[in-house]
Structure 1
Amino acid sequence: MKRLSGWRAAGLLWVAVCAQTTWAQSVGCEASCTPLAQTIAGLLQDPSVARDHWGIAVEGMDGAPIYSLNEGQLFQPASNAKLFTTAAAMALLGAKATYQTKVLARGVFEDGGKLTGHLVLIGNGDANLSGRVLPYVAPMPGQKPDAAESGPAPLRYLEEMADQIAATGLKSVQGDVIGDDTVFPWEPYAQDWAIDDAVWGYGAPVSALSINDNQIQVTVTPGGSVGAPASVLLDPAMPYYMLDVAVTTGAAKSGSTVQMERAPGSRVLRVYGAIGLHGQPDVEEIAIQDPAEYAAMALKGMLESRGVHVTGGARARHRVLMDTESFSRESGAVVDAARKEVSPQQRIEPSDDAAFDVAVTGEERTLARHVSAQLVEDIVVTNKTSQNLHAELLLRQLGLARGRDGTIAQGARVVRQFLGNAGIDKDDFVFLDGSGLSGHDLVTPRATARLLRYASGQAWFADLKSSLPVGGVDGSLEGRFTKAPLKGKVFAKTGTLGEARALSGYLECASGRTVIFSIMVGNHLPQVHADREVMDKIVEAIAAAN
């Protein structure tokens, strides 16, 4: 997960204010009394990271303290928040949980395969209605995940359901195709998600009817000569967005200056800039504005290509909350924002069928269905690739299964209760989403270490650990810790958000001992990676010292 800082390097003047105390004075004796502490202190004195805010917690699998620095201070966890969401999901939903997507026909059935009524595609929170291959397999070096041309089609499960519908003998629908995501309320974005994130696939809106990770791949390829228009292709090639393209082919080796923009709520995608002659295509993932509507449009087109005539249109059915819920950090309760008091134990029901114009006389038949992969397989994808949408769907599933509804607030409440039961101090974390994309999420390194220690004693620990990226091997750590002795020995979740970075997990050390670590950085300089390099050196030092 990445959010590019809005700061621009050009024209910025950085003023360094030197502290009057020594490093040892600022962090206390612990930072200068052991070889490991001395090594870390030396690394953090590097001018490129000395002004960053660091928090570190290292402990044995039995909880024995090894090293700490600012371990009780709050940091933005970024995607380290996924550790908390996926652990709660493993514990409370279960590794074998599955979710069913189905197509219902509502109305009057007549001879000749005619339906007077609607087809309703009902989402149930399946995160993998896509071309993704499960169980997860790490892509070959240099290959973008799930981008192989020979891989499964991104809308393959919709195609399979369209085949099932056609096989029933249905020939015409005198009505609409409706994408229904009302199992969760329509809360596409969590609090404090940045508006510019909403353009990109990593900031895609959340829907119980999610399709292809709620994103479209946009590929810009240079033309055959300098000055020629570049080509822009969408995958899937469904006409959902209207393209406004102004991309020319620049001189050879001139690189790419391609930009993509879409106003909130707009279905116009503007693509502009230049791309160098003979250069590699520029490939980006663009978020789908309304996933349920997109899925309905795709299914309608698939049915028509199979000879099923649909007279109506494709539309989405959402459930909008009338009373917004907010999360109370102090009590862990859900608070009604309008009344500022604890809401009653009341589940918010879906919007009325008649009001939405889907209530029709006749009968209801299930024409197609698809059952998701088991939850544990999705958790591997969520942690290995740091998939924001999947973490957000898990949060809503937690709220639906263990709270009062599939809202963000209810999911956060369930996670909070889970963490309390795990022995984590209630003041050591604040989560307003499931992925860590919210700038209001906060957590301490000691809370993260405590979670990892708690997980190590649970029946689901092996599954959770195997879902983490492995240094030098796969996921978001494929390009880090690529050499012995750390290759294959670091099992950890990464996190990057603006000027925050984190790395937390399990480390198999030189002695064969496994330790738990959480390293978090706040307020590093924008668009630099020195803190990540020092972070990796700290992990090396921990491994060598233990």
Structure 2
Amino acid sequence: MTPILLALLLAAPAAPQAPTPSDPVATAIARAAPGTRIGLMVVDETGREIVAVRPDERFVPASNTKIFTTAAAFATLDMTAPDGGGGAEVRLEGRDVVLSGHGDARLSSAADCRSDCLADLARAVAARTRIVHDVIGDDSALPDERWPQGMSWNNQVGRYGTAISALTIDDNVVALSVTPGAAGAPPAITGDGYYELENRATTVAGGKTALEETRQPGSHVLRIGGTIAAGAPARTVLVGIDDPAHRAAWRLAQILRAEGVRVTGTVSVRHRPPSPSDDPDQRGGAPAPHAPAPPAALARLAPPPLGEDVRHTNKVSQNLHAELLLRRVGATTGSGSVADGRAVVVRMLGGIGIPRWQYEFADGSGMSSYNRVTPRATVTLLRWIAAQPWGAAWRATLPVGGVDGTLASRFHATPLDGRLFAKTGSLNATSAVSGYLTAASGHVLTFAAFANDVPGDASATAAIDQALLAVAASH
């Protein structure tokens, strides 16, 4: 099997030639649904190309975008020390209490919180005063860019497309509990009161649970529809939010009241609208005037090291955390805008020698359909990462085939079980997986695989996995 033969098999405009038994990679790829466009590149430890199928075509990478974002984070930020720079703080401004975020993705208001806890900040306020007026959520440490360009608006209601903010709480989702009632009756739905709930769901006997959540952008009315099976256990539904700073301040007000602090005012927010100065390509003119320094903080949190967050981000493909990492990277040289983060990634890739046309990014997570990257650019970056002092630590953040993360159910009980370390990706008509695998010879191969234009409800995952198994078996 050669790259030339694979190209002939896959590039034909009419029905492809029947692959021969001696070409197991081509045979595997040919199993993808008609119309699917697959790019696959595999190189050995010397950089020699083993497989090259459309290596220089641009593909939507989905969450393989996180490879680029988290590599830039490792190359730019301190991964080992407590994250004092990103921690949230609380201060008093007259009778108002202000909760400020600085890009930490892990602030928690859970009752069983043990680290990076909002309750610790609430107790600092309670120790100083027993009455406050307004509770203000301040996320102006970063520009107010809550969703990436090119993300489908209908993703906003769910946890994968929740808004991004310098002041983030509980992964910026609200948890609802849906408990079935009698057959034909609506289920019971409970939340914490943040959303106004409109219950249009039905309990069905002998049916399946298929709940649907809909909400118009900017609305506090959340509609729950669909069905839940009678006798089924209660289902937890995680719903995205539009204004994380407001949600965080709202939760702080709740905890303050539980701590015996009387809140006499309202919950409000402070945002910093994006401006031309947030784009490195449009900066110029006189610098913006500095705002007066705020009062000293009553308390500031120091979250765990960012390396732990990158591990979580890559293992489960956490979009919100990836977006905040991109903004944190951008804050090292600019305002913390998406454009600043992209500029750091571009400089990193330029330094590696990857041509500019081989990639384009609109976000840090892969939710944007505007992103494009070639298999060759991805493999080049992965090989560069492996040569860095932090390369082994970064690789340890990747899911492991058959073992954990988004690869826990893939490659199990195959020769690549526990021997493939890769980032997955999934989006409309798109799937991807790129990383490292240990072949039958014991040599480590670097690979990038993308499938775009996957029709309808089809999946290209099995075809890609079989191709990688074939490569591993023959090298």
Name the TM-score, length of structure 2 as normaliser.
Answer: 0.92
Matched, 1:171 2:140: no
Amino acid at match of 2:273: V
**Residues 54 and 22 (structure 1 numbering): CA distance in 2 closer, same or farther, change over 3 Å?**
closer
2:281 matched residue in structure 1: 335
What secondary structure sits across from 2:335 in the alignment?
Answer: coil
2:351 corresponds to which of 421, 425, 447: 421
Displacement of 1:94 in angstroms is 2.5
1:314 matched residue in structure 2: 267
Displacement of 1:348 in angstroms is 5.7
Displacement of 1:120 in angstroms is 0.9
Displacement of 1:321 in angstroms is 2.1
1:230 corresponds to which of 183, 187, 190: 187
Question: What is the CA–CA distance in structure 2 between the aligned matches of 1:324 and 1:265, rounded to whole Å?
Answer: 26
Amino acid at match of 1:201: R
**Residues 464 and 345 (structure 1 numbering): CA distance in 2 closer, same or farther, change over 3 Å?**
farther
Matched, 1:184 2:142: yes
**Residues 345 and 230 (structure 1 numbering): CA distance in 2 closer, same or farther, change over 3 Å?**
same
**Residues 349 and 179 (structure 1 numbering): CA distance in 2 closer, same or farther, change over 3 Å?**
farther
Give the alignment of 1:387-398 within 5 angstroms: 387-398=318-329
2:468 matched residue in structure 1: 539
* Alpha carbons 2:61, 2:432 under 8 Å: kept: yes
1:77 matched residue in structure 2: 61
Per-residue deviation, residues 502-529 of structure 1 (Å, max 9, x unmatched): 0000001111111001010110112222
Give the alignment of 1:52-451 within 5 angstroms: 52-96=36-80, 98=83, 99-107=86-94, 117-130=95-108, 152-153=112-113, 157-166=117-126, 168-173=127-132, 175-223=133-181, 225-234=182-191, 237=192, 239-251=193-205, 253-323=206-276, 334-336=280-282, 343-344=283-284, 364-402=295-333, 404-451=334-381
Amino acid at match of 1:121: L
Amino acid at match of 1:488: G
What secondary structure sits across from 2:50 in the alignment?
Answer: strand
Question: What is the CA–CA distance in structure 1 between the aligned matches of 2:370 and 2:22, rounded to whole Å?
Answer: 31
1:514 corresponds to which of 438, 444, 449: 444
2:26 matched residue in structure 1: 41
Question: What is the CA–CA distance in structure 1 between the aligned matches of 2:6 and 2:308, rounded to whole Å?
Answer: 49
Question: What is the CA–CA distance in structure 2 between the aligned matches of 1:199 and 1:443, rounded to whole Å?
Answer: 28
* Alpha carbons 1:348, 1:405 under 8 Å: kept: no
What secondary structure sits across from 1:83 in the alignment?
Answer: helix
Displacement of 1:153 in angstroms is 4.7
Displacement of 1:61 in angstroms is 2.7
User: How high is the sequence identity, in percent, across the aligned residues?
Assistant: 37
Per-residue deviation, residues 223-275 of structure 1 (Å, max 9, x unmatched): 1x2123201123xx2x2111111222111x20124221100100110112332
1:459 matched residue in structure 2: 389
Question: What is the CA–CA distance in structure 2 between the aligned matches of 1:86 and 1:280, rounded to whole Å?
Answer: 37
Judge which range, 211-220 or 155-164, deviates more: 155-164
Across the aligned residues of Structure 1 and Structure 2, the Cα RMSD in angstroms comes to 2.6
Displacement of 1:382 in angstroms is 0.6
Displacement of 1:155 in angstroms is 10
Displacement of 1:152 in angstroms is 3.2
Matched, 1:526 2:472: no
Amino acid at match of 1:228: A
Per-residue deviation, residues 483-540 of structure 1 (Å, max 9, x unmatched): 14211111000000100110000001111111001010110112222x1011110111
* Alpha carbons 1:257, 1:275 under 8 Å: kept: yes
* Alpha carbons 1:176, 1:314 under 8 Å: kept: yes
Question: What is the CA–CA distance in structure 1 between the aligned matches of 2:288 and 2:316, rounded to whole Å?
Answer: 33
Gaps of 5+ in 1: 1-20, 108-116, 133-150, 327-333, 337-342, 354-358
* Alpha carbons 2:177, 2:190 under 8 Å: kept: yes
Per-residue deviation, residues 347-373 of structure 1 (Å, max 9, x unmatched): 6678x57xxxxx9xxx93422221111
* Alpha carbons 1:255, 1:279 under 8 Å: kept: no
What secondary structure sits across from 1:519 in the alignment?
Answer: strand
Judge which range, 422-431 or 75-84, deviates more: 422-431
**Residues 49 and 349 (structure 1 numbering): CA distance in 2 closer, same or farther, change over 3 Å?**
farther
* Alpha carbons 1:23, 1:45 under 8 Å: kept: no
Question: What is the CA–CA distance in structure 2 between the aligned matches of 1:347 and 1:526, rounded to whole Å?
Answer: 51
Question: What is the CA–CA distance in structure 2 between the aligned matches of 1:422 and 1:244, rounded to whole Å?
Answer: 52
Per-residue deviation, residues 192-215 of structure 1 (Å, max 9, x unmatched): 111101111110110000001101
Question: What is the CA–CA distance in structure 2 between the aligned matches of 1:519 and 1:421, rounded to whole Å?
Answer: 24
Question: What is the CA–CA distance in structure 1 between the aligned matches of 2:35 and 2:22, rounded to whole Å?
Answer: 18
Amino acid at match of 2:143: P
Amino acid at match of 1:106: E
What secondary structure sits across from 1:467 in the alignment?
Answer: coil
What secondary structure sits across from 1:100 in the alignment?
Answer: coil
> Would you identify which runs of 4 or more consecutive aligned residues in structure 1 move more than 6 Å?
34-37
Question: What is the CA–CA distance in structure 2 between the aligned matches of 1:22 and 1:160, rounded to whole Å?
Answer: 59
Gaps of 5+ in 2: none
